[in-house]
Amino acid sequence: MEILIKGCRIPTPYFFAPINTGFSVDGEPDARLIRFHGERSGRGIGVAYVGNVAIKEEFRTNLGTLFIGKSLEKWKYLTKTILANGSIPAVQLACRLPGPPSSRKWRTNFQDKFIARTQRTILDLDPKIITKIKENFIQSAIRSAEAGFQIIQIHAAHGYFFSQMMNRKLNLRKDAYRFSSLQPLEQIIRKIRYELPNILIDIRVSMFDGLENSAEENYRVEQIEYISRMDVDCISLSAGLYDVDRAMIYPEAEKGHAVYLKAGYSFSEKYPACLWNIAGNIWDLEVLKENHKSNLTYSIGRSLIADPAFVEKYLNGRVDEVHKCVRAGYCHYYSRGRSHIKCKINPNIGSS
């Protein structure tokens, strides 16, 4: 099931999803993060993403958010650890506009206030700030490649900068940065490709945000189709806004296994030249293997948090040995007012 793309051999289609762990000191990876990713690379995992790395300190989510600063020493150690174990090191670059801290509530009771505040923020956004954001994405990608990452994912989902700019209910601008214009994203991709011709570029995008009815999905599909025609190698599909309803990002068990699999099949069939990735409740690899497509990959989060050998056990026919996620919610540390990730099933997380 190996994937060969632009000379890069990805061992399996099973990826470790971008996880925001809180394991950092002054924006740099600490010993806990090194161990966390050391345990979740190799073992049947094709790509290991380091999640939510801010493009600059001022655009981070919270005080525990990673960002690539002047020194690359610890970052290089992290990527070498992932690569030595047998996975492709990948990084998720993100930008959150400065403003009020994210709500700790799972679902907001003040959606209208969130919409109004975000509309005003985007309308008031100076084009010079947007230019700065674009430049920071490009420079962060270059620094990430220098640190040893082979895949760069631009976070355009879950209410981060590009996610908000792509939402017609949040972005009311009428200029070149209106919701229907993907010009800033396209410019970033073009520049990263020019500077790093051998890097793999991934875009994480929400199929819907949950602010409108099905009409929202229709225009978002058009946006995703447009992105697929850009010079990208992979599109990672997700859904939801972190500050509105986190259940779309982290679907409840009642939603079933691989909730976005149908959408992944549809896009992968329509656009076979692009690699597609889905996340959301992936806990049964046997089901995925039955109808696997060569350009469809799967990001696994909670199952690998609970059991770092989850994929390995499935591939080796040891399913009965899997330590299953019990949905205790410890991994959603910010919502619980904690400083870093924890797990009820795997209490060793957080130790160095």
What CATH number is given to the structural domain containing 55? 3.20.20.70
> Of 35-49, 63-77, 267-281, 337-351, which gets the smallest average pLDDT?
337-351
337 in any annotated domain: no
311 in any annotated domain: yes
312 in any annotated domain: yes
DSSP H stretches of helix in 124-242: 127-147, 161-165, 183-195, 214-228
Contacts of 302 (CB under 8 A, 6+ apart): 250, 283, 325, 327, 331
328 in any annotated domain: no
| pTM for the structure as a whole | 0.96
Q: What is the pLDDT of residue 197?
A: 96
Q: What percent of the chain has pLDDT over 70?
A: 99
330 in any annotated domain: no
Confidence bin at 217 (pLDDT 50/70/90): confident
Tokens of 194: 């020019």
Confidence bin at 335 (pLDDT 50/70/90): confident
User: What radius of gyration do the chain's Cα atoms show?
Assistant: 19
Higher pLDDT, residue 103 or 268: 268
85 in any annotated domain: yes
108 in any annotated domain: yes
Amino acid at position 237, single letter: L
Average pLDDT over residues 12-29: 95
Whether pLDDT at 212 is above 90:
no
Domain count, the chain: 1
Q: What is the pLDDT of residue 352?
A: 59
Cα gap 217→206, rounded to integer Å: 9
Q: Is 191 exposed, middle or buried (0-12, 13-18, 19+ CB in 10 A)?
A: middle
Amino acid at position 100, single letter: P
338 in any annotated domain: no
Q: Provide the domain limits for residue 57.
A: 3-321
Neighbouring CB atoms inside 10 A of 262's CB total 10
Q: What percent of the chain has pLDDT over 90?
A: 80
Mean pLDDT computed over every residue of the chain: 93
Element (H, E) at 153: strand 151-156
